[in-house]
Chain A
Amino acid sequence: MFKKLIDNSAAKSPWLFHINAGSCNGCDIELVALLTPRYDVERLGFKLAGTPRHADIVVVTGPVTAQSKDRVLRTIAQVPDPKVIVTLGSCPRSCNVFRGSYSVVGPLDKYVPIDVSIAGCTPKPEAIIDGLALATQILKEKRGAK
């Protein structure tokens, strides 16, 4: 009975899960800046989830280090389908300046398909809002297809 209501509400409020795959912390700080009163993405329905099992959108930062690879993949696998994988910054997309390092096994698209990539080093918070808006749209498309 309430299924339609719940679906409509869930479509407007996607929950984020943030994974740090060996990032320099720049992108992580910008993502946290989004939750501060200045940008306040919670007014748009986004919310940081505490566990991957509650999330709709996975935000990955960092070039995927050898230590973090297994954990990243295990965490992404725990996110229920349909999910959207967003890469924040240049690192998960291409490893950036860390490419060729002995401890880096990325980029992320070797292991999982990337739905949205936000370029920048680090991206401006406004650009991250744009990326999350696109991710919400993709999530809606995926739910419609399901």
Chain B
Amino acid sequence: MLPFIKEAVTGLFSKPSTEAYPFKPVDAPAGYRGRIVFHADQCISCGMCERVCAGGAISTRSEETEEGTLITRRFFLGSCTFCGHCAAFCVKHAIELSPDYHMVARTEEELVVEGTYLKKKPAKKAEAAACGNAVEGESSVKPREDGLPVNDPAKCVYCTLCAKKCPAGALTVDRKEKTWVLDEDKCVACGTCAGICPKKAIIM
């Protein structure tokens, strides 16, 4: 009997364990994956996020304009599992999962996160230069006889994913200079770069 009286008296004077939520705001813990934030200006339209999305929450639509292609990426939070795969696979870190958890909506449109950016048409000179230094002595995009990878500069978006995934470190991709260089001595012809390429620009 006595221990319970002690418990009851301490309970009377201690703080209630109930959170006063609607009256006192609560922050999500560190690392919580909530509402998606899309930095459209950093996106290079490689399409990796769309491919890894389990819930099929990500879609893209494009519109041709005079200056280039206007690309809109749409994230539907009502179909999202907040797994964070899209953010993890994004090479340019354009997708971020914020700790904002207040995702309550009356209509479907309120659950949509969108971002639009302009993909400029390549200047003709730059395109020609990119073709020239793609692979030494390789102007066409036919597969090589020795089984090493070949890059198609017309398809390549220089996302550097292949260089990051190359187990032998044989690829050097420069996004600014738009170059894709293969170190033939290091390459083991494993095919990882061709498998990971979001634009299927690498041919084995």
Binding site for B on A (CB under 8 A): 37-40, 43-44, 90, 93-97, 99, 115-121, 123-127, 129-131, 133-134, 138
Would you give the shortest CB distance from A146 to chain B, in whole angstroms? 19
CA–CA, A120 and B28, complex, Å: 13
Do B28 and A124 touch (CB < 8 A)?
A: yes
Total number of A-B contacts with CB less than 8 angstroms? Answer: 89
Knowing A117-B111, A120-B103, A123-B103 touch, does A39 contact B82 (C-beta < 8 A)?
Answer: no
Contact among A115, A121, A129, A133 with B80 in the assembled complex (CB-CB below 8 Å): A121
Knowing A94-B76, A117-B78 touch, does A129 contact B105 (C-beta < 8 A)?
Answer: no
The verdict on B102 contacting chain A, using a C-beta distance below 8 Å, is yes
* Size of interface on B: residues with Cβ below 8 Å to A: 28
Binding site for A on B (CB under 8 A): 17-19, 21-22, 26, 28, 32, 34, 54-57, 76-82, 101-106, 108, 111
Do A134 and B56 touch (CB < 8 A)?
A: no
Do A38 and B81 touch (CB < 8 A)?
A: no
Contact among A37, A115, A119, A131 with B78 in the assembled complex (CB-CB below 8 Å): A119
7 examples of A-B residue contacts, CB within 8 angstroms = A37-B17, A39-B19, A39-B21, A94-B57, A118-B103, A119-B111, A138-B106
Do B104 and A127 touch (CB < 8 A)?
A: yes
Would you give the shortest CB distance from A101 to chain B, in whole angstroms? 13
> Could you list 12 further interchain pairs (A-B, Cβ under 8 angstroms) beyond the known A127-B103, A130-B102?
A44-B22, A90-B80, A93-B78, A94-B55, A94-B57, A96-B80, A99-B79, A123-B101, A123-B103, A126-B101, A127-B101, A127-B102
Contacts of A133 in B (CB 8 A): 22
Do B18 and A96 touch (CB < 8 A)?
A: no
Do A96 and B104 touch (CB < 8 A)?
A: no
Of all chain A residues, the one with the shortest Cβ separation from B99 is: A124
Knowing A40-B18, A120-B101, A126-B21 touch, does A96 contact B106 (C-beta < 8 A)?
Answer: no
Contacts of B111 in A (CB 8 A): 93, 117, 119
Closest 6 CB pairs of A and B: A119-B103, A94-B79, A93-B78, A121-B81, A119-B77, A124-B101
Contact among A90, A96, A129 with B22 in the assembled complex (CB-CB below 8 Å): A129
Knowing A93-B78, A97-B81, A126-B26 touch, does A116 contact B104 (C-beta < 8 A)?
Answer: yes
Contacts of B81 in A (CB 8 A): 90, 96-97, 121
Contact among A38, A99, A121, A130 with B104 in the assembled complex (CB-CB below 8 Å): A130
Do B18 and A120 touch (CB < 8 A)?
A: no
Of all chain A residues, the one with the shortest Cβ separation from B16 is: A37
Contacts of B76 in A (CB 8 A): 94
Contact among B18, B54, B104 with A131 in the assembled complex (CB-CB below 8 Å): B104
Contacts of B55 in A (CB 8 A): 90, 94, 96-97, 99, 121
Contacts of B104 in A (CB 8 A): 116-119, 127, 130-131, 134
